[in-house]
């Protein structure tokens, strides 16, 4: 009997989310067969690419026991920076590079305060959110800045390669890089060690503070890339982008993927499953014209239940 319980606990994090996705797909298909058409399935993948990039990059932060609530504002800031660079006549590669580096710098700032000064991650990231949003509003105001006559920039969010949106390819590329980092590099191993027992990792001679700061830098770069993609998709940059629950969706995807909020346990690939789960849910609700109020309630309930099950499974595994 005890063996069966252990097996269930081991299988739950692996198969629970894929099983839930399969059930939800079947339910939505029963209500409206258009849900499983190839065009709609591709649309789901396209829609989740921005959140997916931010979520896989956020995974390392949460694995260290931290959190970054400023990703929505970094998204807005990077789009604005790239817009102003293009407006000033700088070449596209430089505009994109500077936008992503700006995200890395904001991540390093947040990570430094958390890792080296020892401030609480939630408080620091809330402060960063306010600082970045205010700076973006100061630079660009609340207006929408239309991006015109920039075919190269527009291709980032709206172009296709082999029939698949470029934004999806970018999501796949970022995911593949981070999966490699997590599974094949010392850094990936140390992220888990820091989250599991930072004190022990520090006493063993590991550069725990640099590792933590690096995770925030990665998170900032992911948010910046997502902001550039979004600005390209809508041909617009604005300091007001990234509001209305962007952080909630990103953190929800990571938690749904089984990453422990206490740190130490997590998987980039399972985060992708969490992103896919939310994408399927949102798309199905939209097809069925479910009111936004009901969508928010259901999403919130799923997050609470998922977090409870994740922490229960992790606690039992110890």
Q: Return all residues near 64 (Cβ < 8 A) that are at least 6 apart.
A: 191, 194, 195, 198, 211, 212, 215, 263
Is residue 4 assigned to a domain?
Answer: no
Task: Answer for the pair 219, 107: CB distance below 8 angstroms, yes or no.
Answer: yes
Measured N-to-C along each axis, helices 71-87 and 38-63 cross at an angle, to the nearest 10 degrees, of: 110
CA dist., res. 78 & res. 70, Å (int): 12
Is residue 1 assigned to a domain?
Answer: no
Task: Answer for the pair 35, 285: CB distance below 8 angstroms, yes or no.
Answer: no
- Total structural domains within the chain: 1
pLDDT at 113: 95
Is residue 10 assigned to a domain?
Answer: no
The sign of the dihedral angle between the CA atoms of 215, 219, 222, 224 is: negative
Q: What are phi and psi of 209, to 5 degrees?
A: -70, -40
> Pick from 244, 240, 246, 245: which is nearest to 223 by CA?
246
Is residue 15 assigned to a domain?
Answer: no
**What's the mean pLDDT when you consider all of the chain?**
87
Residue found under tokens 């401030």: 119
pLDDT at 316: 57
Burial class (CB in 10 A: 0-12, 13-18, 19+), 144: middle
Task: Answer for the pair 249, 151: CB distance below 8 angstroms, yes or no.
Answer: no
Is residue 103 assigned to a domain?
Answer: yes
CA dist., res. 75 & res. 252, Å (int): 17
pLDDT at 265: 83
Structural domain of residue 71, as residue ranges? Answer: 34-317
Q: Per the structure block, which two tokens stand in for 11?
A: 């299988």
Distance (Å) of CA 55 to CA 38, 52, 165, 267, 274 = 25, 5, 19, 11, 9
Is residue 24 assigned to a domain?
Answer: no
pLDDT tens digit string along 12-63? 556 677 888 888 889 889 988 888 888 898 889 999 999 999 999 999 999 9
pLDDT at 60: 96
> For the chain, which residues score pLDDT lower than 70?
1-15, 244, 306-307, 309-318
What CATH number corresponds to the domain at position 260?
1.10.3470
> Pick from 124, 116, 128, 121: which is nearest to 71 by CA?
128
């Amino acid at each position: 009997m005890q063996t069966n319980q252990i097996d269930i606990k081991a299988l739950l994090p692996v198969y629970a989310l894929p099983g839930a996705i399969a059930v939800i797909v079947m339910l939505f298909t029963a209500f409206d067969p258009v849900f499983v058409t190839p065009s709609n399935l591709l649309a789901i993948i396209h829609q989740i690419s921005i959140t997916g990039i931010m979520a896989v990059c956020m995974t390392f932060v949460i694995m260290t026991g931290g959190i970054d609530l400023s990703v929505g504002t970094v998204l807005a800031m990077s789009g604005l920076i790239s817009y102003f660079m293009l407006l000033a006549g700088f070449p596209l590669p430089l505009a994109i590079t500077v936008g992503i580096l700006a995200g890395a710098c904001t991540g390093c700032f947040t990570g430094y305060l958390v890792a080296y000064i020892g401030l609480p991650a939630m408080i620091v990231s809330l402060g960063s959110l306010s600082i970045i949003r205010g700076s973006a509003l100061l630079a660009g105001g609340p207006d929408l800045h239309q991006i015109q006559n920039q075919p190269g920039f527009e291709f980032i969010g709206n172009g296709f390669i082999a029939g698949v949106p470029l934004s999806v390819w970018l999501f796949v590329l970022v995911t593949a890089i981070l999966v490699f980092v997590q599974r094949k590099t010392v850094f990936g191993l140390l992220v888990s060690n820091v989250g599991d027992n930072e004190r022990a990792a520090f006493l063993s001679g590991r550069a725990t503070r640099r590792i933590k700061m690096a995770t925030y830098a990665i998170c900032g770069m992911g948010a910046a890339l997502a902001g550039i993609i979004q600005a390209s998709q809508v041909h617009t940059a604005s300091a007001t982008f990234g509001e209305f629950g962007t952080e909630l969706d990103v953190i929800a995807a990571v938690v749904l993927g089984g990453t422990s909020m206490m740190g130490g346990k997590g998987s980039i690939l399972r985060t992708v499953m969490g992103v896919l789960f939310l994408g399927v849910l949102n798309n199905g609700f939209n097809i069925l014209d479910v009111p936004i109020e009901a969508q928010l309630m259901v999403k919130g309930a799923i997050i609470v239940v998922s977090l409870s099950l994740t922490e229960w499974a992790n606690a039992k595994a110890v």
